[in-house]
Structure 1
Amino acid sequence: MRAFVVTGPGRTSVEDVEAPAPAAGQVIVDVERAGVCGTDMEFFTGDMAYLRQGHARYPIRIGHEWCGTVSALGPGVDSRWLGRRVTGDTMLGCGRCRRCSAGRHHVCGDRFEVGIRGGWHGALAERLAVPASALHALPDGVDATAGAMAEPGGNALRAVESAELAPGARLLILGPGTIGLLAARFALARGAEVHVMGVTRSSLAFARTLGVHGAWTAEELPHLPWDGVIDATNAPDLPARAIELVEPGGRVVYIGLAAVPSTVDTRALVLKDVTAVGILSASAGLARAIEEYATGMVDPRPLVAATVTLDALGAVLAGTRPDGAGPGPKIHVDPRP
């Protein structure tokens, strides 16, 4: 089969590789759609922290936002999975440790992450091997575009839930990228007043089309009481800024990661009685995100600007916007021949 491979910083190829065979407890998925994430960009640039920490190495087959159809079953897998449209959890815990037993497999110390950590091959390929235990079935009302947005959606939903907003509360989201805008959609669906802070006029204009109550640059941001702040950026200065902005007694949710360390003054947290929450992974939010897509409560599809082939992906990672792309922040790949 064909698979997209990052061979080193700034170097990629589409290669003919051996097609996966399902081990016990695994299935093979024929990938229909896969998303390109900021983590994939970090592997392309060489900035991904796992490369320095020894959790990942080149060459790496990336891709962790995906959907497709189960085409083969390994020993021990329920036959009802065959032929089903699915997406799946990125985080694959060991299943034996204390964290996995407590339902926190996404922070298992021995976990694999599909297309990211531990050498588990990713979904930017024609086929993907994944444990059946990680699968989530897609309802008929969730098409390929929405299905491949389940993983970022689960992340964004967890961020919104962690902000613990009452109906009518005012939420500020830092960063109008995919996660930030999905968080805006989930928060709007829950009755929050949602504002977005960003950098470029085009991204802020697009955010306004999604129904947010305000979209601002840092210089324009009004002095309003923000009941919650979600930092969905990679800017090292904004974690501290989020604490400055949030109301005393409010909540700050961190889901973005900077390439260099950010500094937060814990005195500001204590003296404002702020609760700060970190979010890693979509795991606990996947099922609810899929459900909200299926019911039409949240529609992620306007965020997808274009769908390209595997052969065009290298140029996308290098910063080329596909011809005819819409205004959204997300690029999808259809890896099928």
Structure 2
Amino acid sequence: MRAFVLTAPGAYEVQDLPAPVAAPGEVVVDVERVGVCGTDMEFFTGAMAYLHQGHSSYPLRPGHEWCGRVAAVGDGVDPEWTGRRVMGDTMLGCGRCRRCLRGAQHVCEKRQEVGIRGGRAGALAEQLAVPAASLHALPDSVDAVLGALVEPGGNALRAARATAAHAGDRVLVLGAGTIGLLVALFVRAGGAEVHLLDRPGNSPAFPHSLGFEHVWDEGSLPQLPFDAVVDASNAIHLPRRALELVEPGGRVVYIGLAGEPSLVDTRRLVLKDVSAVGVLSASPGLDATIRAYASGTVDPRPLVAATVGLDEVGPVLAGGRPAGAGPGPKVHVSPRGVEAAG
């Protein structure tokens, strides 16, 4: 099979590799669609923290936002999985520790992460091997574009739920990239008024096209009471700003990650009686995300600007924009060729 492999910071190859074999408890999936994520770009540059913490190393095959069809099952796996369209959880816990046994495998100390951590190969390839326990079936109403958006959507849904926002509340989302816009879509579906903070100089045209009227930058942000603030940015100063902007008694949700430590004044947190929540993983939100997509409650397909083949992944990771790309922030990959993407 063909696979995209990072061999060093800024270095990559599309290699011909042996096709995976379904080990006991695992399945092999014919990969249909993969999303390119900011984490993949950090591996490309060498900035990803796991590289420096010993959790990851080159060569590395990225890709954790994926969907596909089960091609083969290993011993101990229900054969009815064969032929089913699926996506999979990124976080693969050990299954034995206290955290896993309490249903928190996404924070297992010994976890693997598909395409990210622990040597578990990712989905930027024609085929992928994953544990059957990590699979989530996709209904026919969730097409390939939506299927590869379930994983980021699960993160966003968890962040939206963490705001505890109700109809009539006002929520500010810091960052108008893929995760920020997904959070905004889920918050809006719950009936709250959504405001977006984008980088200075960015056009509000795309968020407006999604129906978000209130799009600001730091210079134009109005002085309004925000019942919840979600930091979905990678800016070092915005975690502190989120705490400054939220109403007393409100909630701050942190899902973005800066490249360096951010400072939050816990005195302000206490004196404003604010609840702060961190969101790491999509794991607890995957099934609810699939239901939201299947019902049409949330439709994030406009976020995908282009679909490319494996040979075009490197320039995308380097920050390039595919020719003819639309205005959305997300690029998808069809490992079997764009013609196969449908």
What range describes the TM-score normalised by the shorter chain of this pair? over 0.9
Deviations 1:68-118 (A, max 9, x none): 000000000011100000001000000000000111000000000000000
Report what 1:280 is aligned to: 280
* Residues in 1 aligned to 2:138 and 2:336: alpha-carbon distance in whole angstroms: 19
**Deviation of the 1:204 alpha carbon:** 2.6
* Residues in 2 aligned to 1:321 and 1:152: alpha-carbon distance in whole angstroms: 20
Going from structure 1 to structure 2, the CA distance change for 1:304 and 1:50 (only over 3 Å counts) comes to same
Going from structure 1 to structure 2, the CA distance change for 1:4 and 1:200 (only over 3 Å counts) comes to farther
Q: Which amino acid aligns with 1:146?
A: L
* Residues in 2 aligned to 1:82 and 1:334: alpha-carbon distance in whole angstroms: 21
Matches within 5 A, 1:157-196: 157-196=157-196
Does 1:129 find its partner at 2:129?
yes
Once the two structures are aligned, what percentage of the paired residues are identical? 66
Superposition CA RMSD, Å? 0.8
Does 1:98 find its partner at 2:98?
yes
Matches within 5 A, 1:54-93: 54-93=54-93
The question of whether the paired residues in 1 share the 8 Å contact of 2:87 and 2:148 is answered with yes
Matches within 5 A, 1:225-244: 225-244=225-244
* Residues in 2 aligned to 1:59 and 1:223: alpha-carbon distance in whole angstroms: 49
Going from structure 1 to structure 2, the CA distance change for 1:203 and 1:257 (only over 3 Å counts) comes to farther
Does 1:208 find its partner at 2:208?
yes
Does 1:257 find its partner at 2:257?
yes
* Residues in 1 aligned to 2:204 and 2:245: alpha-carbon distance in whole angstroms: 19
Report what 2:142 is aligned to: 142
**Deviation of the 1:318 alpha carbon:** 1.1
Q: Which amino acid aligns with 1:186?
A: F
* Residues in 2 aligned to 1:192 and 1:110: alpha-carbon distance in whole angstroms: 38
Unpaired runs of 5+ residues, structure 2, are 338-342
Report what 1:4 is aligned to: 4
Secondary structure at the residue paired with 1:181?
A: helix
Unpaired runs of 5+ residues, structure 1, are none
The question of whether the paired residues in 2 share the 8 Å contact of 1:176 and 1:204 is answered with no
Q: What is the aligned length?
A: 337
**Deviation of the 1:213 alpha carbon:** 3.4
Query: Structure 1-normalised TM-score?
Result: 0.99
Query: Structure 2-normalised TM-score?
Result: 0.97
* Residues in 2 aligned to 1:212 and 1:190: alpha-carbon distance in whole angstroms: 14
Secondary structure at the residue paired with 2:207?
A: helix
Deviations 1:234-292 (A, max 9, x none): 10100000000000010000000011111111111011011110000100000000100
Deviations 1:104-137 (A, max 9, x none): 0000000000000000000000000011100000
* Residues in 2 aligned to 1:243 and 1:270: alpha-carbon distance in whole angstroms: 11
Going from structure 1 to structure 2, the CA distance change for 1:165 and 1:138 (only over 3 Å counts) comes to same
* Residues in 1 aligned to 2:220 and 2:279: alpha-carbon distance in whole angstroms: 28
Does 1:218 find its partner at 2:218?
yes
* Residues in 2 aligned to 1:180 and 1:319: alpha-carbon distance in whole angstroms: 19
Secondary structure at the residue paired with 2:115?
A: coil
